[in-house]
């Protein structure tokens, strides 16, 4: 847990020494700077969809175009990477030690490691911003368990931090051969819809592994609602003939309804087919990325500025409210000083009430009290009958002395040690 970040430190030295000549001039205009800003591609997808291999293909393609990207690996559990990451979470957090120290399982260890890494993500963002002047693309490889990144606080913090700094695009990787069933296709689309509306960033559907299965059927289902319904009915009939579970009428009705709802959602999505193994579709993917860059500037950036202004106004209103509350308290204290006479009258009134209460303590009509003033006249070295002028001890006094073991008569005797 106390490991340093050698990869980050080495990268900082590299960016400060070897790339000084590549930094853009300070005389560039705002429009030129906006055009030259890099695009961050966040690769998200189900486990086994091919995210890491896809990142390796992006890295290889960009190097062939003489545009090396800046790569961040956020998967602490990966054993070996097929590419060289500029910033690697494994250099900062030891995934196995996190599991041992916090008594966690695999998924809990990944989530905790990501949370620990997020606490220092401001430093990571500084390096990304420095390198943004020297590269065109920043690529993030996320953990294989999709929910750890998309539905955790650390994932939201990382996404929002990067999106507030540079244009950001979400690439949702889909395993095309496993999406041939209408049910799995609908599940993937629902997950994509939830991520889109959670991040509100430009979104690209990437149908990976098209070298095994073409993405044409999925594109057709997205564009033609009736085609999806027809294939769904045919698949259910086939499942019923083969006695396969899941072909019930309820599921058919549910997927029909969801496909009708998502039909409008499909119109705003950009979908491309790619192969991380062969490199097919890389050109189309980067064309979609450039289109998403413009979408970021026109849609997301104004919304981000609006939220920042609203947050600033909220902080200003809270500051004014606290200041007004302080001034009001100070004003009340000043009024108390001016009304000192009334305060003295109130104090005198309370003092008078206290004196009346003390007099009431000796009121014989209220309740029977023990007059302890008579004790001052008693001589405790004498017997009770001598103090009271009686003839001697009564039977009750004898029983009391006998019961408690008093050896001598009178109150001057010694009492035994309590048991």
Residue 234, both tokens: 């045919």
Any domain includes 121: yes
Outline where 267-388 has alpha helix (H): 282-295, 301-338, 340-360, 384-388
Any domain includes 6: no
Rg over alpha carbons for the chain, rounded to the nearest Å, is: 41
Any domain includes 224: yes
* Those residues with Cβ within 8 angstroms of residue 246's Cβ, 6 or more apart along the chain or in another chain: 183, 239
Q: Are 91 and 119 in contact (CB under 8 A)?
A: no
Per-residue confidence (pLDDT) for residue 167, from 0 to 100: 94
Residue 204 belongs to domain spanning: 34-297
Q: Whose CA is closest to 139, among 205, 75, 211?
A: 75
Per-residue confidence (pLDDT) for residue 336, from 0 to 100: 56
* Those residues with Cβ within 8 angstroms of residue 368's Cβ, 6 or more apart along the chain or in another chain: none
Any domain includes 118: yes
User: CA-to-CA distance for 58 and 52, rounded, in angstroms?
Assistant: 10
Per-residue confidence (pLDDT) for residue 3, from 0 to 100: 45
Residue 136: its H or E element: none
Per-residue confidence (pLDDT) for residue 19, from 0 to 100: 43
Any domain includes 136: yes
Outline where 119-212 has alpha helix (H): 121-131, 146-150, 153-163, 182-199
Any domain includes 354: no
In 180-197, which positions are buried (b, 16+ CB within 10 angstroms) versus exposed (e)?
A: eebbebbebbebbbebbe
The CATH number linked to 275 is 3.40.50.300
pLDDT one-digit tens code per residue, 11-42: 443 344 344 333 333 334 444 445 678 999 99
Identify the three-state secondary structure at position 7: helix
User: CA-to-CA distance for 93 and 77, rounded, in angstroms?
Assistant: 10
User: What are 170's strand-pairing partners?
Assistant: 42, 203
* Those residues with Cβ within 8 angstroms of residue 365's Cβ, 6 or more apart along the chain or in another chain: none
- Side-chain-side CA neighbours of 20 within 13 Å: the count stands at 4
Q: Whose CA is closest to 51, among 139, 168, 177?
A: 139
Phi and psi, residue 376, nearest 5°: -65, -20
Any domain includes 399: no
Q: Which residues of the chain carry a pLDDT beneath 70?
A: 1-35, 242-249, 333-419
Residue 39: its H or E element: strand 39-45
Q: Whose CA is closest to 218, among 226, 228, 230?
A: 228
Any domain includes 412: no
Q: In what order do the strands lie in the sheet with 137-141?
A: 87-88, 70-73, 137-141, 39-45, 168-175, 203-208, 270-273
State how many domains the chain has. Answer: 1
Return left, alpha or beta for 3; rule: phi > 0 is left, psi -120 to 50 is alpha, else beta: beta
């Amino acid at each position: 847990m106390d490991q340093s970040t050698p990869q980050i430190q080495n990268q900082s030295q590299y960016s400060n020494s070897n790339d000084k000549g590549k930094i853009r001039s300070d005389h560039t205009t705002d429009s030129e700077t906006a055009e030259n800003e890099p695009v961050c591609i966040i690769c998200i997808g189900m486990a086994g969809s091919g995210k890491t291999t896809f990142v390796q293909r992006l890295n290889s393609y960009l190097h062939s175009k003489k545009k090396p990207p800046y790569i961040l690996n956020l998967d602490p559990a990966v054993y070996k990477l097929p590419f060289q990451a500029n910033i690697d979470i494994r250099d900062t957090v030891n995934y196995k030690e996190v599991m041992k120290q916090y008594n966690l399982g695999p998924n809990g260890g990944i989530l905790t490691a990501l949370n620990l890494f997020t606490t220092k993500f401001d430093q990571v963002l500084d390096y990304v911003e420095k390198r943004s002047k020297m590269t065109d693309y920043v690529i993030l490889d996320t953990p294989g368990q999709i929910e750890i990144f998309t539905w955790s606080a650390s994932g939201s913090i990382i996404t929002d931090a990067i999106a507030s700094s540079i244009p950001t695009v979400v690439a949702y990787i889909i395993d095309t051969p496993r999406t041939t069933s209408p049910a799995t296709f609908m599940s993937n689309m629902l997950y994509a819809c939830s991520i889109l509306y959670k991040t509100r960033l430009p979104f690209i559907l990437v149908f990976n592994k098209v070298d095994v299965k073409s993405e044409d059927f999925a594109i057709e289902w997205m564009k033609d609602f009736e085609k999806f319904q027809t294939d769904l009915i045919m698949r259910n009939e086939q499942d019923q003939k083969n006695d396969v579970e899941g072909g019930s009428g309820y599921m058919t009705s549910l997927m029909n309804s969801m496909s009708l709802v998502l039909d409008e959602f499909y119109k705003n999505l950009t979908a491309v087919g790619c192969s991380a193994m062969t490199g097919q579709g890389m050109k189309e993917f980067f064309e979609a990325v450039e289109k998403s860059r413009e979408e970021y500037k026109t849609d997301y950036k104004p919304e981000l500025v609006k939220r920042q202004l609203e947050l600033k106004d909220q902080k200003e209103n809270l500051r004014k409210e606290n200041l007004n509350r302080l001034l009001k308290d100070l004003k009340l204290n000043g009024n108390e000083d001016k009304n000192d006479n009334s305060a003295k009258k109130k104090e005198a009134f309370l003092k008078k009430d206290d004196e009346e209460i003390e007099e009431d303590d000796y009121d014989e009509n209220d309740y029977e009290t023990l007059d302890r003033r008579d004790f001052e006249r008693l001589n405790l070295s004498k017997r009770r009958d001598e103090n009271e002028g009686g003839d001697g001890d009564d039977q009750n006094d004898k029983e009391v002395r006998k019961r408690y073991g008093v050896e001598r008569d009178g109150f001057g005797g010694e009492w035994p040690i309590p048991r």
